[in-house]
Structure 1
C-alpha cells in the first residue's frame, strides 16, 4: 500500500527559552506619544519618532521631546541617513524627504500607484527603498492579511531627479526593511512570519509573532511583533469553509484575527476567553493582542525577547531600534515610546 507524503512546513518557534514570557515591556520606562508609529536615529544621534501628523525629536532620554516637523497626513514610516536626510512615509502612499533642520528637500519622485508606505530605508544619498504592503490605510491589515493569500506587497526605489523603479514584487504583506551584514536588503513579512530577501527567498521563518519592522544593530537585528501567533488562527487556516463564511458575513473588525489593542468585548468572538474570575485577566490567558520584541543574532536566530502578556497594555509593538546602547520600542496599543534599557542589545 502506498501512502502520499504530506508536505508540512517547518515547526514554528514556541514561546520558550530565550523567547519565554517576561515583563520587560511592562516594566520599561516610557514617554507618551499620540498615535506613535515609527522611529529613527538621526545623523546627530537624536531619536526621531512620529506622533500622528508630527515628528518629535528626543536629544537624550529624560529630556522633553521637541517638535521637529509637521505634515498634513499621519506619519507611517521613518528612515535617516548619515548625511542628515530623513525620509518620512505618509499615509496615502506619499514620501517627504527632509534635511537636518526639518525642511523639505525637493526632487524626489514617488510612484503614482503606491498604495502604502509601511517602511523605508536609504540606499544612498539619492535613493530610498520603500515598502508597500499593498493595503490601503483604511484597511485593517492585522485583520485582513492573515486570511489573504494574494501577494500584494512590493518594494520600490525612489530617487532624487530619477524615475522610480520596482525591485521586488509578489511579497506577502512586507512590513519592515533593513540592510543586512552583506550589504543587501532583507524584509519582514507579517503573517508568513518570515524574513526574506528582495527575491522573496526565505532566510528564516517560523517566528512566534506577526512581524512588524526589523532593524539592524551592531551585532544582529531586533524585530517588532504586532502580536503573537495564535493557535486558533493557525488551526482555522485548515478550515476553508469556516473562513469563507467568516469573511463573507462579518466585518473584518470581528474576524478571528490578531488585534492591536487588549480590549475585551462581548462583540468579539472568543475574546472573553481572556477573562478569568472576577474579570481578572491572567498573563497566560488566551489573547489576540500581545506585546513582543525579538532580538536576533547575525543569522536571524532569536537570542532574547521582551514581552507584554495578556494582562499587559503595551501591545502591538510596531517599531524598534537601538539608541545609545538602549533598546527602544513603540507600543501602538498604549501610545508610548518604551526604553527597555541595555538588555542584550549592544
Structure 2
C-alpha cells in the first residue's frame, strides 16, 4: 500500500513530491532586523561564533579569530584546512578541521585529537557541542562530501549524515544516529535529550541519547536550518543557510534535469540555495527577482537569505530577525550572545553584525 501511496503522491504532486513552500509568517514574518543591525566586524567567510571567557571566537576559512567586545580582532592560529565547527565549555575549545578531524585545546583534555580512523569517519563535521567534561557530541553532515559541499549534498538528495558521541578520555567514537539529511546543528538540553537540526528535511529533531529514540519537534520550516546556539531563559537561537525556493523544490523532483545540471553546470550557477547573491550576472534568476522601477518586490524569490530565529526551550519559534532578498547579511550560519546583544555571522556577507538588546528580550 505504501508503494501505491507514493506513486499517487508523485502523480498528484503531494506529500514528499509537493513543490509548495511554507510561508514566512507568524514569528517568522519578514523584517529588516539583520539588515539594520549595527556592524560588529568585517570578516571574510565569517562563521562559527562561540563565546569564551576571553572573548568571542570565530572562524574565517582556515583562520581562528578572537574578538573583544568592541570588535577588535586578532588571529590566534591558522590551520591546514578550513575550520568547519567550534565549541567551547569548561575552558576547553573543540575545533573541527576539514580533512583533519577534531582537536581540543585547553582544559582537561588539552591536545586530545580524533585522527586516523576516527577522522576518516568524521569527514564532514558541521557542528560540535560538549555534553559534559568528558564527552563531545559531533554532527557529521555527510558520508560522501566535505562540509564545503553542502549544496551538492542537497542537490544529490543525500541522507548519509550522522551524530556521534566522542569520549575525550579514550578517543572512542559511538554512533548515536545515522541516516540523517545533513545534520547541521546540535544543542544540549541539560538531560539525555539533544536537539539536532536536519537541514534538507527542514526540521529540528529531539534525540534521546540513552535510547536513540527520535522525535521531530519543529517541522515544515520554510528554510534550511543550520546551527543551534543557547539563548537567554533556556531558549535557543536557530540559524539558517537560506530560505527554500519553489523552483529548487521542483528541480529536486526532476531527476534528469537535476543530474545534468550537476554534471554540466559550474556549481556557482546551479539553481540551488546559496550563501550570497547578486555577485555575477550568470547567476540563475526568476522573474520576481527582477527590479521594476529600480525596486525589488517584497515577494521576490531568492537563492540566499539571512534568518535567525529565537526559540523557546521546546524549540517553539518566538521571533526572528531577517535580511531579505535585496539584503547583504545572508548565509547566517552561526550566532551567539554577547551580553544583551546578539552577534550573527553572515558568511555570505563576510561580516558579523550586532543585534542590539536581542538577548534581553527584544523581539524581531
Task: Give the structure 1 partner of residue 104 of structure 2.
Answer: 97
Correspondent of 1:164 among 169, 173, 177: 173
- Counterparts in 2 of 1:130 and 1:93: CA distance versus 1, 3 Å: farther
Task: Give the structure 2 partner of residue 65 of structure 1.
Answer: 73
Q: How does 1:40-55 map to 2 (within 5 A)?
A: 40-42=50-52, 44=53, 46-55=55-64
Let me know the Cα RMSD of the aligned residues. 2.8
Partners in 1 of 2:156 and 2:295 — Cα distance? 34
Equivalent pair of 1:265/1:271 in contact (CA under 8 Å) = no
Is 1:33 matched with 2:43?
yes
Equivalent pair of 1:271/1:288 in contact (CA under 8 Å) = no
What do the CA deviations read for 1:229-249 (whole angstroms, capped 9, x no partner)?
A: 112222334434433443444
Q: Structure 1: which 4+ aligned runs deviate by more than 4 Å?
A: 3-7, 9-13
Partners in 2 of 1:13 and 1:312 — Cα distance? 21
Equivalent pair of 1:214/1:223 in contact (CA under 8 Å) = yes
- Counterparts in 2 of 1:46 and 1:266: CA distance versus 1, 3 Å: closer
TM-superposed CA distance for 1:195, in Å, is: 0.6
Equivalent pair of 1:208/1:228 in contact (CA under 8 Å) = yes
Q: How does 1:34-183 map to 2 (within 5 A)?
A: 34-42=44-52, 44=53, 46-60=55-69, 62-81=70-89, 83-99=90-106, 105-110=110-115, 111-113=118-120, 114-134=122-142, 135-137=144-146, 140-141=149-150, 143-158=151-166, 159-180=168-189, 182-183=191-192
TM-superposed CA distance for 1:144, in Å, is: 2.0
Equivalent pair of 1:264/1:271 in contact (CA under 8 Å) = no
SS at 1:38 equivalent: strand
Partners in 1 of 2:246 and 2:21 — Cα distance? 11
- Counterparts in 2 of 1:79 and 1:140: CA distance versus 1, 3 Å: same
Is 1:205 matched with 2:219?
yes
Structure 1, unpaired ranges of 5+: none
Partners in 1 of 2:248 and 2:127 — Cα distance? 26
Task: Give the structure 1 partner of residue 196 of structure 2.
Answer: 187
- Counterparts in 2 of 1:19 and 1:48: CA distance versus 1, 3 Å: same
Correspondent of 1:16 among 1, 4, 25: 25
**TM-score, normalised via structure 1 length:** 0.87
- Counterparts in 2 of 1:324 and 1:152: CA distance versus 1, 3 Å: same
Equivalent pair of 2:304/2:331 in contact (CA under 8 Å) = yes
Aligned residues: 338
Partners in 1 of 2:340 and 2:226 — Cα distance? 21
Correspondent of 1:216 among 230, 236, 240: 230
Equivalent pair of 1:87/1:95 in contact (CA under 8 Å) = yes
What do the CA deviations read for 1:243-272 (whole angstroms, capped 9, x no partner)?
A: 344344434433221111112544233357
- Counterparts in 2 of 1:51 and 1:264: CA distance versus 1, 3 Å: closer
Richer in helix (by share): 2
Partners in 2 of 1:327 and 1:197 — Cα distance? 25
Equivalent pair of 1:109/1:161 in contact (CA under 8 Å) = no
- Counterparts in 2 of 1:222 and 1:266: CA distance versus 1, 3 Å: same
TM-superposed CA distance for 1:108, in Å, is: 3.2
Partners in 2 of 1:35 and 1:278 — Cα distance? 33
